[in-house]
Structure 1
Amino acid sequence: MSNPHPPMFDLFVIGGGVNGCGIARDAAGRGLKVGLAEQGDLAAATSSASSKLFHGGLRYLEFFEFGLVRESLREREILLRLMPHIAFPMRFVLPVHAEMRFETETPASRLLTRLFPWLKGRRPAWMIRLGLFLYDHLGGRGFLPGTRRLDLRRDPAGAALNPRYRTAFEYSDGWVDDARLVALNARDAATRGAKIMTRTQVTGAQIEHGQWQITLRDTRTGVTRLVTAGALVNAAGPWVDAVLHSALGQTGPRQIRLVRGSHIVTRRLFDHDRAYFLQGSDGRIIFLLPYQHDFTLIGTTEAAHPGPETPAICTEAERDYLLAFANHYLRDPITAQDVVHSFAGVRTLVDDGAASDTAATRSFVLHSENPGAPLLNVLGGKITNYRALSQAAVNRLFPGRPAWTASAPLPGGDFAVDGAAALIGDLQAAYPFLSPRWATRLIRAYGTEAVAILGKAKTTADLGRDFGATLTEAELRWLMTREFAQRAEDVVWRRSKLGLWMSRDQIAALDEWMQSEHEGGPQ
């Protein structure tokens, strides 16, 4: 028997990470009524704890995942064009030396061992150059420069490295502010009519009369309510199995493996804007990335994680591993005292039976059930492929509605890939009280919408209360009313990284102010 009342939503999405918000945006842009529930804040878990890269996955070539690398490389350039405020090209320096080795279980390692047994697992320079040639050409590279060889004895990139490293290759990939990527997808989805509900948990969902009956609980007040939807997407990331089994009452084998990736942040270790791709004697790799102007981001590790309810933290062992790895390369060693911040995220990988977490595929799987009232479970994926994944998900559920996101910039991203410097100059000219770093931060966060935040301000005082580190009341109100921020941590660790400069007292005062504003209702 069918329900005489149409569902409240055509599509309901569980999960406010990059995939969930990407799907909500895509679907809303196709004219669908969309709802999304996130049990915490947007990007509160994995999607704010990545290495913050749009990349093809150079090391995935060792696993012969040519299709994944090709698709990721194509997406990399699409995404860099669509969000030039929060994502931009970056050059990576890959030092070459004789001790570089494959992880022993990769297909490339096994093939080389058979063909060239005298290499004994080493990564020869010629093979790295071959891999970089493929990397330059597999995805049809457009505006990004190709690979070149560096003499580290002469190039400034060699100054931070141990003198024994004399040669390197330099190639292109992209940087992205991962948490802002999520917030802007959610913001655009809401602009297109989606209902975004943060700190809202899905406690149950069942099919009645051909529709999904979904029970929601406000995690702040405990109040529950019921909504209905024609189709349901489970994009809960590390919680995807938990939602499937607990909230949806489904049974079946575990479909994912959880892998914790940890990062550390140190004082700035080099005086240029390029990153380093470092290879270890254990076959693993890490990145040293320029981070928030004053710092260096080092990561990542890969360790099995017991479950989504276990907090993801960078352990002392992981911190020490990253320090030791980096010190094999650095001219001036670093210690735990140089670490100013750390974070960890739990990645969801498709459980494909691979022997190790490193070998597990980074591709995604869309698993659909219940043709009458569809359920789509999103498994795996990587941040570079979030748009393609979102498009594929909506295509699967609502075929015939044209795709659109490949040419639609995110809010604030309607300018050229190389146009940020000009925007920063224009912003300073319009608002002379802004310092160069303040203006840069605003453009890199909000792009062309920075002017809307500053409005008619003539002085810093016109922007309201100063919370520290250039965070003003005007910006904070924008984040609360347009980007779903409710607590201080939402602002200083996700929608910005101002927590790196703010004191605990400043953050506490900010949280108190935000709570008082929230309790008082819209201002």
Structure 2
Amino acid sequence: MVHETRVPPSQEVDVLIVGGGINGAGIARDLAGRGWSVCLVEQDDLASHTSSASTKLIHGGLRYLEHRAFGLVRKALSEREVLLRSAPHIMWPLQFVLPHDPGMRPAWLIRLGLFLYDHLARRDVLPASRSVDLRRSPLGAPLQPRLQQGFVYADGWVDDARLVVLNALDAQAHGAVIRTRTRCTQARREARHWVVTVEESDGRAATVRARALVNAAGPWAERLLRQVTQPAGVEPLITRHLRLVKGSHIVVPRCFEHDHAYLFQNPDGRILFAIPYEGAFTLIGTTDQEIHGDPRDARADDAEVAYLCEQASRYLARPVTPADVVWRYSGVRPLLDDAHGNPAAVTRDYRLETDDLAAPLLTVWGGKITTFRQLAEDAGNALGHMLHENRPAWTRGACLPGGDLSGWIDVSGHPARDFARFLQAVQDRHPWLPPALAQRLARAYGSRIERVLCGARNVDALGEPCAPGLYEAELSYLRDEEWARTADDVLWRRSKLGLHLTEAQRADVASWFTRATLLGHTQAWTP
């Protein structure tokens, strides 16, 4: 639980991490589990930017094979099933249909790519790719009649923002300090320590002394080096540069009834995903548009929405129009500048840059959500080397919070089957829970669901409903244990309930947080 105390005027830790996205949270978890004292600071909410605005896939990146990024694809493919087993409640297998458009890539090339995709890394849970006759399969029903042949392959789905929160929870369980809405304003490097000034949202400042500093600021990583870690008037030595590439998505009412997703090929060489989303919707994305300026200002503009609708309508029998869009969002990918002219072709791989000429500094450049665990492990190894304290890695076989279902069922090792049996166990233990609520809570919290239910034996014991299907017990849990401080934290990151609620209902959730704040519930520093 997050205890309600103030930030002390000074604090000493082994490692200070700047950035509360997936890479920062993953590194905090890895380091804390190795026994180092860790503090993570994030200027906003956890996963409030890039890490909650992805296409929400655990995937190798089929299209990266065309750019000969075999190392990246192999690395990502090897992580898929590791991640699926670690948190089967928020990650699960998802099969994709790739319709063959004769005007696009030839069928033989697609078969070759899928063969490599099947065999570049070991696969125990996910099925191999196969051909499908779209004229005779329900998978072809939502598509235009001209599309007669296709291919089916498997990857994984992830609730991206919850993945970040679970890593932060696990880091905290291993002793890490997680500070949201706390900005790093200055970092002074000494021979053996960093002296870092952090500032809370109310303006209160504190000083943290750290033996090492990790720059996991994502789109702000280069800016952090230029403006925060250098003395005034000193030009920073920056050996790598970021290209900030905006990826926008749209959500529309459900375009098809089955549980497969689609991958569409566009004439410009890009690909487009159409994915079942939140039961009643379809998620369509993404774009690749280079931006300049503050990543906070990135928005999915009307031109991108029109592009996504147009490209999806090239395949779907029922056209998608901008008027259908119920939600749009955009995330900024911090990609390594590899001098490639096409933003879609810029590498999605990561680089860890280390500097131990004085107190150690590690900067994370690039990365993708699928490889976050391996990135964090590599970062832990690098920091151990710089601190002269090599400690063994531990996360490959470890579950994330809520992911260990062995207290509820006999785990088979197949994530989808295990979750289905877990959900049945939840319904058997709590038959009073409405089925839709049981499903949502089981998906969101896994084996931590009892922390949310707080011993309730009927719906009334969950407190007042602040919105349909959202009770005070869950809001209190999210506030006290998952760093939620606003309605947006809950409705668009800890969940996607915002899609299902009216504006007035969303306002009711905001009012609950306002009342909680007035009663003195503020985030705490837990040393």
Shorter-chain TM range is: over 0.9
- State how far apart, in whole Å, the 2-side matches of 1:12 and 1:519 are: 31
- State how far apart, in whole Å, the 2-side matches of 1:191 and 1:465 are: 30
Q: Is the 8 A contact 2:47 2:161 kept in 1?
A: yes
Specify the alignment match of 1:168 in structure 2: 150
Q: Is the 8 A contact 1:87 1:174 kept in 2?
A: yes
Deviations 1:412-450 (A, max 9, x none): 001341211112112122222322221111111111111
1:502 maps to a residue whose letter is L
5 Å matches for 1:206-285? 206-208=188-190, 210-219=192-201, 221-249=202-230, 251-252=236-237, 255-285=241-271
**SS of residue matched to 2:150:** strand
5 Å matches for 1:270-309? 270-309=256-295
Q: Given the alignment of the two structures, is residue 183 of structure 1 paired with residue 168 of structure 2, yes or no? A: no
- State how far apart, in whole Å, the 2-side matches of 1:506 and 1:335 are: 27
Structure 1 residue 305: Cα displacement: 1.2
Q: Is the 8 A contact 2:253 2:281 kept in 1?
A: yes
Specify the alignment match of 1:357 in structure 2: 343
- State how far apart, in whole Å, the 1-side matches of 2:518 and 2:70 are: 52
**SS of residue matched to 1:231:** strand
Specify the alignment match of 1:496 in structure 2: 495
- How many pairs are equivalent? 495
5 Å matches for 1:313-392? 313-392=299-378
Deviations 1:202-236 (A, max 9, x none): 000012352100000112x1111111000000000
**Further displaced range: 31-40 or 135-144:** 135-144
Specify the alignment match of 1:136 in structure 2: 118
Q: Is the 8 A contact 1:260 1:345 kept in 2?
A: yes
Specify the alignment match of 1:24 in structure 2: 28
- The verdict on how the C-alpha distance between 1:182 and 1:368 changes in structure 2, with shifts beyond 3 A counting, is same
1:414 maps to a residue whose letter is D
- State how far apart, in whole Å, the 2-side matches of 1:97 and 1:336 are: 24
1:339 maps to a residue whose letter is V
Q: Is the 8 A contact 1:56 1:70 kept in 2?
A: yes
- State how far apart, in whole Å, the 2-side matches of 1:23 and 1:93 are: 34
The structure 1 segments of at least 4 consecutive aligned residues displaced by more than 6 Å after TM superposition are: none
Q: Is the 8 A contact 1:258 1:307 kept in 2?
A: no
1:63 maps to a residue whose letter is H
**Further displaced range: 254-263 or 15-24:** 254-263
1:57 maps to a residue whose letter is G
Specify the alignment match of 2:78 in structure 1: 74
- State how far apart, in whole Å, the 1-side matches of 2:374 and 2:356 are: 23
Specify the alignment match of 1:117 in structure 2: none
1:200 maps to a residue whose letter is T
- The verdict on how the C-alpha distance between 1:7 and 1:434 changes in structure 2, with shifts beyond 3 A counting, is closer
Q: Is the 8 A contact 1:7 1:230 kept in 2?
A: no
Q: Is the 8 A contact 1:427 1:451 kept in 2?
A: no
Specify the alignment match of 2:3 in structure 1: none
Specify the alignment match of 1:409 in structure 2: 399
Q: Is the 8 A contact 1:201 1:217 kept in 2?
A: yes
5 Å matches for 1:467-478? 467-478=466-477
Q: Is the 8 A contact 1:54 1:176 kept in 2?
A: yes
- State how far apart, in whole Å, the 1-side matches of 2:173 and 2:246 are: 34
5 Å matches for 1:55-134? 55-100=59-104, 123-134=105-116
Structure 1 residue 7: Cα displacement: 7.2
- State how far apart, in whole Å, the 2-side matches of 1:7 and 1:439 are: 42
1:247 maps to a residue whose letter is V
2:422 maps to a residue whose letter is L
Q: Given the alignment of the two structures, is residue 514 of structure 1 paired with residue 513 of structure 2, yes or no? A: yes
**SS of residue matched to 1:458:** coil
**Further displaced range: 328-337 or 78-87:** 328-337
Normalising to structure 1: TM-score of the pair?
A: 0.93
Specify the alignment match of 1:107 in structure 2: none
Structure 1 residue 310: Cα displacement: 4.7
Specify the alignment match of 1:434 in structure 2: 433
Q: Is the 8 A contact 1:264 1:299 kept in 2?
A: yes
Q: Is the 8 A contact 2:191 2:359 kept in 1?
A: no
1:39 maps to a residue whose letter is Q
1:251 maps to a residue whose letter is P
Q: Given the alignment of the two structures, is residue 202 of structure 1 paired with residue 187 of structure 2, yes or no? A: no
1:77 maps to a residue whose letter is E
Structure 1, unaligned runs of 5 or more: 1-5, 101-122
Specify the alignment match of 1:466 in structure 2: 465
Structure 1 residue 451: Cα displacement: 2.3
Structure 2, unaligned runs of 5 or more: 1-9, 406-412, 523-527
1:243 maps to a residue whose letter is L
- The verdict on how the C-alpha distance between 1:342 and 1:144 changes in structure 2, with shifts beyond 3 A counting, is same
- The verdict on how the C-alpha distance between 1:350 and 1:456 changes in structure 2, with shifts beyond 3 A counting, is same
**SS of residue matched to 2:461:** helix
Q: Is the 8 A contact 2:215 2:221 kept in 1?
A: yes
Specify the alignment match of 2:418 in structure 1: 419
- State how far apart, in whole Å, the 1-side matches of 2:421 and 2:384 are: 41
- The verdict on how the C-alpha distance between 1:181 and 1:357 changes in structure 2, with shifts beyond 3 A counting, is same
Q: Is the 8 A contact 1:486 1:515 kept in 2?
A: no
- State how far apart, in whole Å, the 2-side matches of 1:142 and 1:230 are: 41
Specify the alignment match of 1:54 in structure 2: 58
**SS of residue matched to 1:406:** coil
Structure 1 residue 140: Cα displacement: 1.4
Specify the alignment match of 1:396 in structure 2: 382
Structure 1 residue 356: Cα displacement: 1.3
**Further displaced range: 69-78 or 303-312:** 303-312
- The verdict on how the C-alpha distance between 1:309 and 1:289 changes in structure 2, with shifts beyond 3 A counting, is closer
**Further displaced range: 383-392 or 496-505:** 496-505
- State how far apart, in whole Å, the 2-side matches of 1:80 and 1:455 are: 27
- State how far apart, in whole Å, the 2-side matches of 1:310 and 1:14 are: 17
- State how far apart, in whole Å, the 2-side matches of 1:462 and 1:178 are: 30
Structure 1 residue 309: Cα displacement: 4.4
- Identity rate of aligned residues, in percent? 50
1:352 maps to a residue whose letter is D
**Aligned-CA RMSD value:** 1.4
